[in-house]
Structure 1
Amino acid sequence: MKHWFAFLLLVAAPAWADSELPPARWANEQLPDPRQEAQAKALMEELRCLVCQGQSIADSNAEMAGDMRALVRQRIAAGEKPETVRRWLIARYGNWVSYRPPVEPVTWPLWAAPLIFLLAGAWLLRKRMVRRRS
């Protein structure tokens, strides 16, 4: 019986993840200025949801993503440039929040990996083709 109760608590835990508070004002509302809304939307597409991880904050229904959308819209409505808002969010949450990580010594492997894999695949394919000819 104890195990069944523990299982139910574990399964129900995601239901407690969101609060009962209403969403922030700009979480699901567009800005009145279409130019500012377009800037905010473009920036939201570049930022990763900290909860969903595979979705941008523009696509996520998570409460945290809504809060981040509201922050982006508030700052852009206040006249900040999208790149300034992006840098502020990276400073606050780390490089991981951006789908465009900066090119730094720490991220060089991320940028070089596709090229390395491509070259390794070409080398293996060439090696295999040479074996078949022999």
Structure 2
Amino acid sequence: MKLILALFCALLAVPAAAQTALPPAPWADRQIPDAAQERKAKALMETIRCLTCQSQSIADSGASMAGDMRSQIRERIMAGEQPEAIRSWLIARYGDWVSYEPTAAPILWPLWAAPILLLGLGLLLLRGRIKRRTRA
């Protein structure tokens, strides 16, 4: 019985031992001293989706992954990289989903065309009903 209790206590201690000891990203919550560079970084951060939260931008998220991404963006901006190049790098690394800006990839065209086609179909049906009522 003591052995089972000891194993149970050991299993409960495993999650506590799994906590990271890594320090937070250096530029996660610190602003760039140059105000123009910080504006560029902030504007880019507001268009990048947090991969952990999925409903917030990395500018608004408190997740550690969002902090890492904010830090990377600030470091790259300070190194002189342009925001669009950083966006392209993030999309290449994490996929199209990371950006709030929609893409115009050919595979997505049916998604863009479907509402227009459904609206047109609805208008045709409405026109047919109106014509039937005016004849009767």
TM-score interval w.r.t. the shorter chain?
0.7 to 0.9
Gaps of 5+ in 1: none
| 1:99 aligned counterpart, secondary structure | coil
Deviations 1:21-52 (A, max 9, x none): 33211111111111111111111111111011
Shift in alpha-carbon separation, 1:41–1:110, aligned structure 2, 3 A: farther
Partner of 1:82: 83
Partner of 1:102: 103
The equivalences for 1:1-134 within 5 A come to 19-123=20-124
Shift in alpha-carbon separation, 1:24–1:103, aligned structure 2, 3 A: same
CA distance in 2, matches of 1:119, 1:56: 35
- TM-score when normalising by structure 2: 0.73
Gaps of 5+ in 2: 1-7
CA distance in 1, matches of 2:111, 2:33: 39
CA distance in 2, matches of 1:123, 1:25: 59
- TM-score when normalising by structure 1: 0.74
Partner of 2:4: none
Shift of 1:81: 0.4
CA distance in 2, matches of 1:20, 1:131: 74
Shift of 1:20: 4.8
Shift of 1:101: 2.9
CA distance in 2, matches of 1:132, 1:23: 69
Shift in alpha-carbon separation, 1:90–1:122, aligned structure 2, 3 A: same
CA distance in 2, matches of 1:122, 1:30: 52
**Residue type of the partner of 1:29?**
R
Q: Which deviates more, 109-118 or 78-87?
A: 109-118
* Percent of aligned pairs sharing the same letter: 62
Shift in alpha-carbon separation, 1:82–1:20, aligned structure 2, 3 A: same
Shift of 1:121: 5.0
Shift of 1:111: 2.9
The structure whose Rg is larger is 2
